Amino acid sequence: MNPNNQNKMYKWANDLFPICRSITGEGVRKTLNYCKNLHPEILIKKFHSGEKVFDWVIPDEWNIKDAYVSKLNGEKIIDFKNNNLHIVSYSIPINKIVSKKELLEHIHTRHDIPDAIPYITSYYSKDWGFCISENFKKTITENEYKVVIESSLKKGEMNYGECLIQGKSKKEIVFSTYICHPSMANNELSGIVVSLSLIENLKNSDNYYSYRFLFLPETIGSIAYISKNLKNLKKNTLCGFVLTCMGNKNNFSYMPSRTGNTYTDKVILHCLNKYGGSFKSYSFLDRGSDERQFCSPLVDLPFASIMKSKYKEYKEYHTSLDNMSFLDSNALSESRDILLKCIYIIENNFFPKLKLFCEPMLSKRNLYPKFGGAIKSDKTKLIKNLIAYSDGKLDLIDLCELFDVDFTEICKTSNVLVENNLLSKKLI
């Protein structure tokens, strides 16, 4: 592991943390521009407000300059500039004196976590509101308050980022993450910075598969993207990963695809079983991220997730407690590394098939001398097992589980046999 990279991911998250993101607006563009500065390969694209995407319509663009609640004496008691979670996302503009009662009707708290500011949105019903801690709510005792929200809702754009790292094959591995969450770190800056680190790892590599990274507003963004790119996604997606909640200290979690038996599930389960320590498997019944769109029955793409703590399963989720001190450099690295392991396996996996009738004569090919000393017997055993089982129906993942050897080992050895013209390669 490269300690530099760890620092990078954490640093990137730290830079992006203060920006007030939503599903549209300046915050999204700032975020995307930051990413594009790191990787010019990322293209910033857009949908227009009012555009129809499947069953949905792209909403107006929302921007916000300022928002606060003040006592009538001018003292600001809630100030958006202190924490952009204070404002309900997509709040309409307002500027008036309201009674305590009316104000409280627009105040959101979390009774169960009295010191946390909750994260609330109101994308599709015109409303306004402020989010504060339950503790602070007790200090709202005046009869009247001034409420100011300097926001705008206008025809505009919904932006997203897309980065294709072209490999030899048109078959793609797709990674999708969100850019719509305001100041929260694990959900969802972790997905963005892990994506950036994967791009860094892949963009100068000699990849067999193509890699596509999507930086989308959640739900409406993935729906819009799928509506525009369904044909290509259906034709070329070999594996898909939703990147979310990858940055807190915890064991790994696994969210399967709808059917749980796609190639993505197979790769993830192999990786987690071999390298993931003790991890928690969820059911697709527990889904809650963009796999809801990618795995939707008619879309039916092979998307699954590796997370640290799953969304909804940790206390800090969707509150101000999901902040930079909740984020952990090591956790980000572990998440990125397990995905690199998945990528390594996807790049190298194939269905080996013995090209000869009966066992080949290994000694005349000098296959043995290549492996010296004490390791020899294991290598020889692996060669013989590969020859015995390479019937073209089992891939290297199946075989390394059957033989109980590491994928790296089987990969090297099977390639030696391919070079010696003993095995043919059938790709997945």
Residues forming contacts to a copy of itself in the complex (CB under 8 A) are 54-56, 124-125, 219, 222-223, 226-227, 230, 258, 284-285, 287, 292-293, 295-300, 353-354, 356-361, 363-364, 385, 387-392, 402-403
**Token pair for residue 37?**
């500065």
User: How many of the other CB atoms lie within 10 Å of CB of 63?
Assistant: 17
In the complex with a copy of itself, the residue whose CB is nearer, 136 or 389, is 389
* C-beta of 315 vs 393, nearer to a copy of itself: 393
Of the pair 51, 337, the CB lying nearest a copy of itself is at: 51
Judged by beta carbon, residue 167 or residue 360, the one nearer a copy of itself is 360
DSSP classification of residue 189:
I
Two tokens at 157? 């754009």
356 sits in the region (left: phi over 0; alpha: psi -120 to 50; else beta) called beta
Name the CA dihedral angle for 99, 104, 106, 107, rounded to a multiple of 10 degrees: 140
Complex with a copy of itself: residue 156 or 221, whichever CB lies closer: 221
Residue 101, burial from CB neighbour count under 10 angstroms (0-12, 13-18, 19+): exposed
CB atoms within 10 A of CB 3: 10
Q: Identify the residue whose tokens are 């005792």.
A: 141
Residue placing its CB nearer to a copy of itself in the complex, 56 or 344: 56
How many angstroms separate the CA atoms of 248 and 281, rounded? 17
CB of 111 to a copy of itself, least distance (A): 16
d(CA 372, CA 368): 8
For residue 318, the tally of other CB atoms under 10 A from its CB is 19
Question: Smallest distance, Å, CB 402 to a copy of itself?
Answer: 7
Residue 15 one-letter amino acid: D
Measured at the alpha carbon of residue 396, what is the angle toward residues 395 and 399, in degrees to the nearest 5? 90
Shortest distance, position 284 Cβ to a copy of itself, whole Å: 7
Q: Which is nearer to a copy of itself, 144 or 286 (CB)?
A: 286
Shortest Å distance, C-beta 399 to a copy of itself: 11
**Which residues make Cβ contacts (< 8 Å) with residue 34, sequence separation at least 6?**
12, 15, 16
For the CB of residue 55, give the shortest distance to a copy of itself in the complex, in Å: 4
Min dist CB 287 to a copy of itself, Å, is: 7
Lookup: tokens for 77? 């008691």
Q: Please state the closest distance from residue 290 (CB atom) to a copy of itself, in A.
A: 10
